[in-house]
Structure 1
Amino acid sequence: MSAITPAQIALLDGSLAAVLPRVTLGGLAGRRLFITGGTGFFGLWLLSALRALNAQGLGLHACVLSRDPGRFLGRHPQFAGQPWLQFTAGDVRDFQAPPGCFDALIHAATETSMAVHAQPQRMLEDIVLGTRRVLAFAREAGIQRSLLVSSGAVYGRQPADWTHQPDESPLACNPLLPSSAYGEGKRVMELLGAICQQDHGVASVVARCFAFAGPGLPLDAHFAIGNFLRDALQGTHITVQGDGTPERSYLYGADLALWLLKLLQDGDAGQSYNVGSDLALSIADLAYQVRDLVAPGLAVQVLQPSPPDAGPPQRYVPAIHRARALGCAPWTPLDEAIRLSAAYWRAG
């Protein structure tokens, strides 16, 4: 895959510049961070945010674990040769510890491809064994504070009469279903963090992440908004695989990165925070919104008709009261997120 263009880099930088004034992150000044999952969608936005903060003089340092640092740097040359950034090659389950001490950890490594979801045992083992190794490293490296990037999948299916999944929800995914491997793995990850906090004093903050949009999100994976953008950019009809009634909400990548850094800095130890937008829309409405903004007039094809007695829609939408109390909000409107995403891919 070729390197992204200067226009694409400028779009990432501009997106962050628009929201950086919304949050204060001075408490991270001079900190050394260890980051897993630093080269995917989350990682691209996190590293872009750190790059922007360091341009303002924050003096952050980051070490990123990656299976293939060279591939990431070849794709994203804006991070090559940065004095504040280093990479260590390895797998999250058994990586060799980089030298030195670190102040804080962001553990965001999880393989989310459809191929891995089709192998639930591998999915579960990757999450659990990876978390064990990362937390062991945290103890060895003197890390005092961790942000564990979890998922709204820990709650299982959202009840039909709930418009939003609350932060304090007691619900859990069904452990009798192999399809729950991802959510159950994330639940165990959270538990391991709580045990590490109790036994070793490594403060653990949990970010339960929902759905996202923005440059860097794959156009050929299992993300509806990415697939709709692909169809619109290619000028083919936009295909909605189901009946279009499920409801989702989407937080923009620049907002996501700053939320995660804010939670790392100010989140309460031993607490979970829903991360996502609380502004819901149906999958069908999303398809039409992408069409209208990116390729007006393009046909939208909904493959399955909705039965007349379908009842309330299936929802995956967070309530975000705890994050809002820290000053976080969905700052970038969805229509702007869609426009920026289309502009990013067109500039490639």
Structure 2
Amino acid sequence: MPSKFVDRRVLVTGGAGFIGSHLCERLLEQGAEVLCLDNLFTGRKANIAHLLGNPAFEFLRHDVTIPINAEVDEVFNLACPASPVHYQFDPVQTTKTSVMGAINVLGLAKRLRIPVLQASTSEVYGDPQVHPQTEAYWGNVNPIGPRSCYDEGKRCAETLFFDYHRQHSLAIKVVRIFNTYGPRMHPNDGRVVSNFVVQALRNQPITIFGDGSQTRSFCYVDDLVEGLLGMMRTPAEITGPINLGNPSEFTVAQLANLVIEITNSKSTIDFRPLPQDDPRQRKPDISLAKHHLGWGPTINLRQGLKRTVSYFERLLSLGRSENGIAERDIPAKYPARLVS
């Protein structure tokens, strides 16, 4: 069966980011023309440098909070800083990116009458009181806390998507992404995997916030991208939201010890106070993804960590951060935290 994306012109907002750049690659492999839109706040041109010579790939530096004028066949909306280090640096802009960005991509999709996919997040569940988290769960979110700009911004974006669907019969897809990791993660973005790997490779103490008993479920980026593509392939009546993540659950302490083992590191564990509103547990119920997409993760944590460690080893051997990013580019006032 031919790919759904052959001869399709696809807009990927946030396309120069960690997940977005991998999605652009897979779309090109499946025969699509790709318009990659990114303002390069957290995305980096180095993530897509190897794609720039491809005649089917185009990069547009643009902020999604500004209306978009493009002629495309479908849209993947991934634009938004996704780690506390980045989204708390300018929380007002983070909310604008989620809300105004959603309005702008929905407006584009409405004008062109094309399908649009929203990359939402497990953060919409907040610090969940239901475990594992199903799409029917409404969440336990603090609307005025330091994480609210991201959590509530994404929740509002979902609201907008479903209102456009009901009011304008727009073809929408909404996925909720759980912790994802892999090559091209920013080494200083505060996400738990990149933080642990970089600290272990440098033989520095591994920073765990809380006692390490809080749980996360880690999905390798290649698996996640296949889920995004699969969701866009579903019939129009499948709108979501649908969870995308790996239901294998690990404590943060287990992750730290596995990273130390894989890197053969001399790192010790440094326990620090848990940040406000940090979720105690995260595990997706992916029953809907299995049923509607035929999707499930194929890469286990050990396999994915080995690939991720190899990536960071190459970066550190060059004596620089990922994509040449200097320490001064990362806001120092925010500690590393755990985030989807």
Aligned residues between the structures: 307
Which of 56, 76, 93 is residue 122 of structure 1 equivalent to? 93
Report the CA distance shift for 1:234/1:51 in structure 2 as closer, same or farther (over 3 A).
farther
Give the distance between the partners of 1:288 and 1:247, measured in 2 at CA.
14
Give the distance between the partners of 1:93 and 1:332, measured in 2 at CA.
35
Q: Which amino acid counterpart does residue 139 of structure 1 have in structure 2?
A: K
Q: By how many angstroms is 1:176 displaced?
A: 4.3
Between structure 1 and structure 2, the one with the greater Rg is: 1
Name the SS for the 1:153 alignment partner: helix
Report the CA distance shift for 1:338/1:130 in structure 2 as closer, same or farther (over 3 A).
same
Q: CA RMSD in A?
A: 2.4
Contact 2:178 2:245 in 1 (8 A): yes
Q: Which amino acid counterpart does residue 52 of structure 1 have in structure 2?
A: E
2:26: which partner in 1?
Answer: 49
1:314: which partner in 2?
Answer: 280
Structure 2: which 5+ runs fail to align?
316-340
Report the CA distance shift for 1:278/1:291 in structure 2 as closer, same or farther (over 3 A).
same
1:245 aligns with 2:213: yes
Contact 1:108 1:148 in 2 (8 A): yes
Q: By how many angstroms is 1:210 displaced?
A: 1.2
Q: Deviations over 1:252-285 (max 9, x none)?
A: 0111111101111116443200111100000011
Contact 1:214 1:337 in 2 (8 A): yes
2:260: which partner in 1?
Answer: 291
Contact 2:216 2:249 in 1 (8 A): yes
Give the distance between the partners of 2:140 and 2:117, measured in 1 at CA.
21
Report the CA distance shift for 1:67/1:166 in structure 2 as closer, same or farther (over 3 A).
same
1:19: which partner in 2?
Answer: none
Contact 2:88 2:146 in 1 (8 A): no
1:26: which partner in 2?
Answer: 3
Report the CA distance shift for 1:44/1:185 in structure 2 as closer, same or farther (over 3 A).
same
Name the SS for the 1:65 alignment partner: strand
Structure 1: which 5+ runs fail to align?
1-23, 54-58, 307-312
Give the distance between the partners of 2:142 and 2:207, measured in 1 at CA.
30
Name the SS for the 1:341 alignment partner: helix
1:233 aligns with 2:236: no
Q: By how many angstroms is 1:173 displaced?
A: 1.8
Name the SS for the 2:15 alignment partner: coil
Q: By how many angstroms is 1:25 displaced?
A: 7.3
Name the SS for the 1:205 alignment partner: strand
Which of 54, 60, 82 is residue 112 of structure 1 equivalent to? 82
Q: By how many angstroms is 1:169 displaced?
A: 1.4
Contact 1:241 1:304 in 2 (8 A): yes
Give the distance between the partners of 2:140 and 2:74, measured in 1 at CA.
28
1:12: which partner in 2?
Answer: none
Give the distance between the partners of 2:310 and 2:252, measured in 1 at CA.
22
Q: Which amino acid counterpart does residue 91 of structure 1 have in structure 2?
A: D
Q: By how many angstroms is 1:244 displaced?
A: 0.8
Q: Which amino acid counterpart does residue 154 of structure 1 have in structure 2?
A: V
Q: Which amino acid counterpart does residue 205 of structure 2 have in structure 1?
A: H
Q: Which amino acid counterpart does residue 105 of structure 2 have in structure 1?
A: V
Q: Which amino acid counterpart does residue 134 of structure 1 have in structure 2?
A: V
Give the distance between the partners of 2:206 and 2:68, measured in 1 at CA.
45
TM superposition score normalised by structure 2: 0.83
Give the distance between the partners of 2:29 and 2:147, measured in 1 at CA.
38
Q: Deviations over 1:201-227 (max 9, x none)?
A: 321111111101111112211201111
2:225: which partner in 1?
Answer: 257
5 Å-filtered alignment, 1:2-81, equals 26-53=3-30, 59-68=31-40, 72-74=44-46, 76-81=48-53
Which of 141, 163, 174 is residue 206 of structure 1 equivalent to? 174
Give the distance between the partners of 2:255 and 2:146, measured in 1 at CA.
29
Report the CA distance shift for 1:149/1:115 in structure 2 as closer, same or farther (over 3 A).
closer
Q: Deviations over 1:90-128 (max 9, x none)?
A: 110114413x3x221101100235243254333222211
TM superposition score normalised by structure 1: 0.81
Give the distance between the partners of 2:15 and 2:306, measured in 1 at CA.
25
Q: Deviations over 1:25-58 (max 9, x none)?
A: 72233222111011111112101212333xxxxx
Give the distance between the partners of 1:40 and 1:124, measured in 2 at CA.
18
